[in-house]
Each structure stands twice: as structure tokens, then as C-alpha cells.
Chain A
Amino acid sequence: MQEFFSAFQSMLNPVTIGFMILGTGVGIVFGAVPGLTATLAIAVFLPIVYKMETVVGFSLLMAVYIGSMSGNLITSILLGIPGKPSSVATTFDGGPMAQKGEGAKALGMAIVVSFLATVLSIFCLMFIGPWLANLAINFGPYEYFAITSCSLLLVSGLLGDSLPKGIISAIVGIYIGMVGMAPVDGALRYTFGIDDLMAGLNILPVIMGMFALPQLLNYARKELVLERLKAPKIKGFGFTFAEFRGQIGNFCRSWLIGFGIGILPTLGAAASNILAYAAAKKASKYPEKFGTGIIDGVVAPETANNATIGGDMITLLALGIPGDGVTAVMMGAFILKGLTLGPMFFTKYPDVVNVIFVALLVACFLMLVMEFYGLRIFVKIMNVPLHILLPIVMVFCAIGSFTSTNTIFSIGVFIVLGLVSFILERFDVPLTPMIIGYVLGPISETYLRRGLQMSHESFLPFIQSPIAGTIWAISILFIVWQIVRGIRTHMLKNNTNQA
């Protein structure tokens, strides 16, 4: 508790607070504008965080994260289009509410429940994170290899509509991570005689290339035409206390769904918002009203998608496993700063841990205030056309890529990775497994080789360990279930066609 307050004190200076306000604001814009993403927001700030002092840098990063995860509610409600997978369900009732003239109520409620859900999940992070880290301290290379490999397997299998394509995407990411010197023995792999590749591909241009360039090229291919937004005037919170009290049950259920899903690697806000909406509809006394513009249909997804924040951060900090693309990119910041995530993170870097906790909480309050009072400004920024915003983001990313190694070669890496990602998207290959493969691949290989050194090159201990064996069993069952489900869907389709 003392360290928590001293972290809070260290952040109470104009520079840190100023950067946090900037980060939250930019994060909200990136979260709100279709065509920009939370992942891109964090990627764009990575070069800046890398060069900053740790407290300021991570405070800024957490502010961007919180802002970008909650910003999507603005377009979901005002425009009725999601822009991000994590806010799909919000459009089902948020859009109709805005059309009925209840946009202020929808926005007000969404902002408040987002705030409450995030704060609650961060408090859980503060208590569960260290507990999980203590549990994981006894994990060795066999257990870590199981966790990292199974996370990769699950991400590949559960994202996208094709299991083979998801796994290939993860393998592409692993391949990119293998370029350069191998762990343990330093053998050169896939360098093609290019000296610049000997140190491997720096994480900054890789991440920015994967997420930034495809956005520009997708816009160039199919121009996204958006209506001009108008910000409704919110009086007070926009809703009554009675309306809020009526949503407490919905909030609690949706929060549990969101937080639980956040803890599981691979599933994230994209899954939680839809599951929470479905659960709210099923539990409701008036399910037929869902989709027509009722407040329940806004509370459920917005609570769930923000509750996943704490769950995602728990697995990231305590186990070093990113739960989705956003946390995978955030992991890049820790790698750049030379901080190893995992159970030892809480004991080795308690000051950084407390800075992260405090920054997340402060960012929540900033998000609440900025979304209520700054809504008109955000809407004005969001009305800036994408054909101006996206090239600006490109320049930022190109220069950010340059800063990673101070060589033009990094900008080349940014372009090549961007083109590869764009081509993969054209083949309907999901990109999230690729970034997770890139981040987790080298880590999982290191654990494999260390484990093999310990076991004198026997693979048996990797499955004989009870924890590792259980993790493998659960993951394989999940994948088998996914395959069986795919076969059944295919057979059902064939039967329908024949009928």
C-alpha cells in the first residue's frame, strides 16, 4: 500500500499528468475513429514510450490504452457502426437509441459503466495479479513452454473463420521472430546475408508495419465514407439514478463475463461484448425489446468490453502472455524497456507495477471527465477525414520505425511487414495470431530449449509435469472441439444445400 501511494506521488507532476491527458485524448480518438484502432494507438506511441523515463512512459502508455479501449463507444452510439470488434454489440441498441433522440442517455450511461467496469477490473488486477504471480513462481520451463505454446494454439484456432489460416498466420509471426540470432546458441537464421538482419527484426517497425500500413491501403482500396458526427448535449450524466439502479444486475453479470474472458488468453473484448449482450438478452424480462434501442443493450457490452482490461492485464503482467493483439503490442513496450514480464515482474519491478496500477486508475478518471466534457472536441477531431488522418499516421509510424535502430532499414522493414499484412488480410487471414506468434514464438522456443537442456533432450517431462500436462490437455480438447464444430457446420451446410 505504501508503494502504491509513493507511485501515486511520483506521478503527481505536471509533465506526467500532461502526457496522460494527451495519451487519454489521443487514445479516445483512435478508439473512436473507424479505420484507426487501439492496437495502432499503442503502436504509434511505442517509439515515444521507449525514449521516455519509465514512470512517464508507462503512465502515457496506460492512458492511451484506457482511452482507446473506451473511445469506440462514441461511434458505436452516434453513428451506429462499430469500427472495432469490441463494440459490435453496442451498436445493436446504441445506434437505435441515438436515432430515437436518446443519444445523450446512451452515451452518458456507456461512459459511466465503462468507467466503473474498468476501475473494478483494475482493483481486481491489483489483488489477483500478485496472487497469480506467486502461483506461477514455481513454474519452470516445461510449464512456461506449455502456457506459451497453448496460447499460440488457442489464438490461431479461435480467431478468424479458418483454423489452418489462423495457424499459418501464427507461423508467419513465429517465422518473423526467428529472423536473426537463435536463442541459446546464437545461430544465424533467415538473414539472407543481410547484416542488418543479424540482430533480428526490431519490434517497433514490425508492429507498426503490421497494423498501420494495411489501414492506409484498405482505405485507398475502399474509401470509407462516414457521416459527419454531431455531439448531443449531455445534461448531468444523461440518465436518472432510477435508470442506473435498474441496470445494476445487468452490470454485475456483464462485468463477470468480461473479466473472466479477459483472463483467458486469446478471447478479449471482441468476444466479451457479444457474449454479455446475449446473456443480458436471455436474462431480460423483455428480450423482444433488445435491438430496438434500450439502455440494457448498451450497458451489457460496454461493461464487458471494459472489464476485460483488468483480466487482460493480469495474464500479461503475471504470466507474460498477451491476451489479444492490443496487449501483444503493449508487451512490446516492456520488451523495449528491457522489462521481463511474468511472475518475477511483481517482485523485481514493484515500482513499475505500482506505476501501472496508479496510471490505469488515473487514466480511468481522465477518460470519464474527458468523454463527458470533451465530447464536442472529440467529435470535431473525428470529423477530420481519414484521407488526412491516415497519411499523418503513416509519417508518424515511418519516423517511429526509424527511431528504433536509427537506420533507414527499419522503415524498409515497416513497409515490407505492412505489405505482407495487407496481402494476408486480402486472403482473409487474421493478423492477431501473427503478432502473438511474433511475440510469443521466441519466448516459447527459449523455454523449449532450456527445458530440453534440463531434461537431457527428453520431451517426456514436458507432458509429465502435472500443470503442463493439464494445460496441453485443455488446449488440445479446445482445438478438437473447434475442428468438430467446423465439420458439423460444414455438414449442416451441405445438407441445407442438398435440401
Chain B
Amino acid sequence: MNFNRMCKLLREKEYKDLLFGIIAFIFFGIAVIQSFYFKNAIVPGGSTSGSIGAEFYPQVFCSLGSALGLWLIVTNVIKIRQKKAGKAEVTEEPEKSRWGMVAVSIALIIILVFLISTLGSIVGSALYLFIQIMVLTKREKRTIKSTVMTMLISIGIPVLIYFPFRYIFDIMLPLGIFK
């Protein structure tokens, strides 16, 4: 099965729910196993208070989560088999999604963390804002005027956020290069 076919299949509800069921089953299954290794912080090395301790709630809910994941797997496998045995596959027109834009936005927001920690909240936020707004702006609307406006907004907004936070609410924000 190639990547494109997999992406096409994942647009169908049954395959999406099947994948979600698999993820939920594995994730919560691991969480249940981890719960057997919880140690009591107040009585180190000892069991938690009584026979029902800190592991009870995680075990109950994560087991339920895992069971529901399994339920989704089973019901969707049945639905897929019924669908295949029934009529021919209906090829839907795929909705147009800009996944590249999503990936770039995720990368930018991760970079924002490093920008704030190294350059400070004002410079880091300004750089992020400028790049993110330009990335989201349609190509035909990226004129000199809009670029200048974006630059002004990118500098103005972090400054407008910094001063009230620092001097009215008395919250220290990372200074970065202004230390």
C-alpha cells in the first residue's frame, strides 16, 4: 500500500476511526502498564495508602480508554469488511487542505519557544509574528505596503504586551538579549 493510497483511505471515516482506535488502545495500554510502577512519594518504597492507592484511578480509566480503543478497532474492521463486501468504493473528491502550511506553522511555533528563551519575549515574538503572518498571507497580497504593515504590527504588538505585563501586572518576561 503506497502513501497516497493510505492518505486516501484515511479520509474515510471507518479508516480514520480504526487508526484512532489503534492509537488509543496502544497509548492507554502503555499507561496501564506504567501505573503498576507508581511509587508512593510519602512512604518511599512502600505501597500507597490502603489497597486502593494512586494507581487505582489511572488503572480504571486507562483500561477503559484501552478497551474503548479496542471497541473502535473491532467495530470499524467490521464496517470496513461490510463496506468492501457491499457496493463499490465511492471515490470522494478530497477536500483541499494546506498541510504544508500546517507543518510550517507548527515548526514556527516550536521555534518561538527558542526565540523567546534566547532573544527574549519582545524580539522573539516580533520575529515569530512577522514570519507567521507573512507565511499565512496569500502570495498575491504580499505587497510592499502589507509587508511594512506586518513589520509594524510585529514590532508593536510584543511591545504592547510587554509593558503592561511588566509594569502593571508585575510579571517578569524573558529579556533575552536585553539582559
**Chain A residues close to B by CB (< 8 Å):** 47-48, 51-52, 162, 164-165, 167-168, 171-172, 174-175, 178, 181-182, 184-190, 213, 216-217, 219-223, 387-388, 390-392, 394-396, 398-399, 402-403, 406, 408, 411-412, 415, 418-419, 427-429, 441, 445, 448-449, 452-453, 457
Contact = CB atoms under 8 A, between A and B. Distances in A.
Contacts of B101: 220-221
Given A184-B49, A445-B57, A395 B129 contact: yes
Contact of A395 (B39, B96, B102, B158): B158
B133 A391 contact: yes
Interface of B: 13, 16-17, 19-20, 24, 28, 31, 34-35, 38-43, 48-55, 57-58, 61-62, 64-65, 68-69, 71-72, 95-99, 101-102, 104-106, 109-110, 112-113, 116-117, 121, 125, 128-129, 132-133, 136-138, 150, 153, 157-158, 161, 165, 169-174
A190 B27 CA distance: 12
A226 B165 CA distance: 33
A387 B98 contact: no
B102 A399 contact: no
22 contacts: A51-B170, A51-B171, A167-B68, A171-B62, A175-B62, A178-B57, A182-B38, A184-B49, A187-B41, A189-B38, A220-B98, A220-B101, A221-B98, A222-B96, A222-B97, A396-B161, A398-B113, A399-B165, A402-B121, A403-B173, A428-B16, A452-B52
A419 B106 contact: yes
Given A165-B20, A168-B68, A398-B116, 9 more contacts: A168-B65, A187-B39, A221-B99, A221-B102, A392-B129, A403-B165, A411-B112, A419-B106, A428-B13
Contacts of B24: 168
Nearest to A452: B52
Contacts of B99: 221
A398 B48 contact: no
A358 to B, nearest CB: 23
B48 A185 contact: yes
A52 B48 contact: no
A487 to B, nearest CB: 12
Given A189-B58, A221-B97, A449-B52, A406 B172 contact: yes
Contacts of B125: 395, 398-399
Contact of B109 (A168, A186, A396, A415): A415
Interface of A is mostly: helix
A187 B51 contact: no
Contacts of B58: 175, 178, 189-190
Given A217-B105, A394-B132, A402-B121, A171 B116 contact: no
Nearest to B99: A221
Counting chain B CB atoms within 10 Å of each CB, which of A174, A219, A388, A406 scores highest? Answer: A388
B20 A429 contact: yes
B136 A171 contact: no
A388 B50 contact: no
Given A392-B157, A402-B174, A429-B20, A185 B54 contact: yes
A184 B55 CA distance: 12
Contacts of A415: 109-110, 113
Contacts of B116: 398-399, 402, 408, 411
A171 B40 contact: no
Nearest to B110: A415
